[in-house]
Every structure is written in C-alpha cells, then in structure tokens.
C-alpha cells in the first residue's frame, strides 16, 4: 500500500524542469564580468575624486542585482541563490562594502527609511526596481554623511552605516550584448559583454571604461552618432581620449592599455561609434597626452587633469 501511494504521488507530482545549465552558466558569466568592471570603476572613481566636479555620494564597491532583471528566474536562483529580490552580486576587494563584512548573496532589504520590497516592479524582466534602488542610494548618500542600509544573510539582518565619501560620478554596468560597444549617458558607463570578451587585459578594459567616464565627467552631449554632428563627435572623442589617460594614470592603470586596445581594435574597425575620428589619430592623441603627463608633477601621487581643471573653473 505504501508503495502504491508513493508511486501515485510520483506520477501525479508536477514536472518541474531544471533550469538549463547554459542559462545558469551565462548568468554567472555576466555577473563575473560585472564584478570585473566594478573593480575598475571603483578604482577610477575613487582615485580621481579630488578632481571631478561631477560627483556622486559614494561607491561602496559592490554590484547589486535583481532577480527581476533575469528572464529566467529559476536559472537566476540556481546561479545565485536569491533569497531576497535584490542582492549583492559581488564586492570589490578593499571597498567599503567588503570592509563592513558584506558578501555576495547578502540581500539589500532597506535603504534609509524605505523597504526595498516596497519599490514598484511593473514588468519582468526589467531593471526597473534596480534603477529605483540606485536612485535611492544616490539620494541617501547625497545629503547625509551616514547612509543607513539594512542587509540580510540567512535569518540574520545587519545595519550598515557607510561614511559619505564623494567620488567621481558614474555607475558602471555590463550590457549583455554581442556588439562590441561602450557608451556614456551622463552618469552611467555602459560596457557590453562582447567588449569585455574582446579586450586583452584589465588595462585595456580600464582604458575603455576611463574613456566613457571622461565623457560623463566633461558633461559631453549624449546620444548616438547619428544624432550628433561628426565635428562635435571628433572633438569630444579626442577630449575623452586625452582625459582618459590622466584618469588611468591616477588610478594606477598603465595607459599603454589604451594604445594596445586601439592596436587590437583599430585595424579591424571593431567598434561602431569608436571609429570617430579614426584609430590612428586617437593613438597619436593618447601618446601625446602620455608625454604631457610625464612632464607634470604629481601631488600626493596624483595629477590634476587640465581638462577637468578647466571644467571645474567653467562651472
């Protein structure tokens, strides 16, 4: 009789398909790329903080993700656990989050006086809730010198109090795309997963990230190549290239990475918008800027980029 019940239960139990292994692996791969880019963004934003007029309240050195951003929620659970809807995907070594004991998998459940669970989510998959979280964090870290957050690991909840430490504004994120592209929209830096796969080293990836960060720090107009005049594109691209060399140097990256990137990418015309104003011209501009830096004295180990200095004065 017992066997009959067991067999009956097995036959009538709903069939739950396991998430596809390749989807789980793909989600983990994107998270690993996000973690790699976060390290670079954290270094660039902190090392150049003294010189940026466009700042944000804080960069604790973490990557957050939301289960709702993944089209396959079961695969996301298999890949990361996800006991809370918004969790820490990774922490940057030496960042404030790591210093406070935050670990990948910790759930973010409260920001200031708002529960993350109360944030709207009108569609899935989407980053709608994650964007709201990002804006809330900016608000909390803006006016206050202490940002009360609550995280949860298992059944344990903990309060975090980050000290306000303004850094260069930019939120670095990986766009899961098979096009080799990067972009800047004023306060965010977008790097595609294909571009991260394409670069040959962290110095090369830092060069691309610093170039996009430079656009944001100089308040360059945003938009596609088609919506911008080619003349202004040439000017702003060369400005971003010049400033990127300073940002890299201050952050301890080898600016040769920028030259290596163009040597790899240029002859193949690999990057759409990056083609303006031509990779040889860009390499010459970068080399010239490296010569300027070599002749500029560092103060406290860092150099004030002339383009940022002029931008600050114009504010």
Is residue 291 classed exposed, middle or buried when 0-12, 13-18 and 19+ CB atoms within 10 A define those classes?
A: exposed
Q: Kindly state the smallest distance separating residue 74's Cβ from Zn ion, in Å.
A: 38
Cβ proximity to Zn ion, 74 vs 175, nearer residue: 175
d(CA 100, CA 230): 47
Cβ proximity to Zn ion, 129 vs 215, nearer residue: 215
d(CA 232, CA 237): 8
Cβ proximity to Zn ion, 203 vs 237, nearer residue: 237
- How many other CB atoms are there within 10 angstroms of residue 260's CB atom? 17
Cβ proximity to Zn ion, 34 vs 237, nearer residue: 237
How many angstroms from the chain centroid is the CA of residue 47? 16
Q: Kindly state the smallest distance separating residue 103's Cβ from Zn ion, in Å.
A: 35
Q: Kindly state the smallest distance separating residue 140's Cβ from Zn ion, in Å.
A: 31
Per DSSP bridges, beta strands 146-153 and 156-163 are: antiparallel
Q: Kindly state the smallest distance separating residue 215's Cβ from Zn ion, in Å.
A: 6
Site size toward Zn ion (CB under 5 A) is: 2
Cβ proximity to Zn ion, 87 vs 237, nearer residue: 237
- How many other CB atoms are there within 10 angstroms of residue 300's CB atom? 6
Cβ proximity to Zn ion, 142 vs 183, nearer residue: 183
Q: Kindly state the smallest distance separating residue 48's Cβ from Zn ion, in Å.
A: 17
Going residue by residue from 231 to 270, which x/- string records binding to Zn ion, judged by CB under 5 A? ------x--x------------------------------
Q: Kindly state the smallest distance separating residue 237's Cβ from Zn ion, in Å.
A: 5
Residues 114-173 that bind Zn ion (CB under 5 A): none
Write b or e for each residue in 115-146: b if 16 or more Cβ atoms lie within 10 A of its Cβ, otherwise e.
ebeebeeeeeeeebbbebbbebbeebbeeeee
Q: Kindly state the smallest distance separating residue 134's Cβ from Zn ion, in Å.
A: 23
Cβ proximity to Zn ion, 109 vs 235, nearer residue: 235
Cβ proximity to Zn ion, 110 vs 211, nearer residue: 211
Q: Kindly state the smallest distance separating residue 199's Cβ from Zn ion, in Å.
A: 16
Cβ proximity to Zn ion, 106 vs 212, nearer residue: 212
Q: Kindly state the smallest distance separating residue 279's Cβ from Zn ion, in Å.
A: 12
Q: Are 179 and 224 in contact (CB under 8 A)?
A: no
Residues of the shown chain interacting with Zn ion in the complex, contacts defined by CB under 5 A: 237, 240
């Amino acid at each position: 009789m017992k066997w009959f019940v067991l067999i009956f239960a097995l036959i009538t139990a709903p069939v739950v398909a396991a998430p596809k292994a390749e989807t789980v692996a793909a989600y983990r791969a994107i998270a690993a790329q996000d973690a790699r880019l976060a390290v670079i963004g954290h270094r660039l934003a902190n090392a150049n903080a003294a010189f940026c007029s466009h700042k944000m309240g804080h960069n604790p050195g973490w990557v957050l993700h939301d289960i709702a951003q993944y089209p396959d929620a079961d695969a996301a659970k298999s890949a990361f656990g996800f006991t809370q809807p918004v969790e820490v995907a990774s922490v940057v070594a030496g960042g404030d989050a790591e210093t406070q004991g935050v670990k990948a998998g910790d759930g973010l459940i409260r920001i200031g006086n708002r529960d993350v669970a109360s944030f709207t989510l009108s569609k899935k998959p989407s980053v709608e809730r994650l964007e709201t979280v990002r804006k809330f964090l900016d608000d909390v870290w803006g006016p206050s010198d202490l940002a009360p957050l609550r995280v949860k690991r298992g059944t344990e909840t903990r309060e975090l109090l980050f000290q306000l430490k303004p850094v260069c504004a930019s939120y670095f994120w990986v766009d899961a795309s098979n096009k080799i592209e990067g972009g800047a929209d004023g306060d965010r830096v977008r790097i595609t997963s294909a571009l991260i796969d394409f670069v040959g080293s962290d110095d090369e990836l830092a060069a691309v990230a610093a170039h996009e960060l430079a656009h944001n720090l100089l308040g360059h107009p945003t938009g596609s190549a088609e919506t911008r005049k080619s003349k202004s594109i040439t000017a702003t691209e060369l400005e971003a290239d010049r400033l990127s060399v300073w940002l890299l140097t201050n952050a301890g990256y080898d600016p040769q990475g920028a030259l290596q990137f163009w040597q790899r990418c240029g002859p193949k015309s690999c990057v759409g918008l990056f083609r303006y104003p031509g990779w040889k011209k860009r390499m010459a501009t970068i080399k010239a800027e490296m010569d300027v830096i070599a002749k500029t004295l560092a103060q406290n180990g860092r150099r004030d980029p002339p383009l940022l200095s002029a931008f600050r004065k114009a504010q």
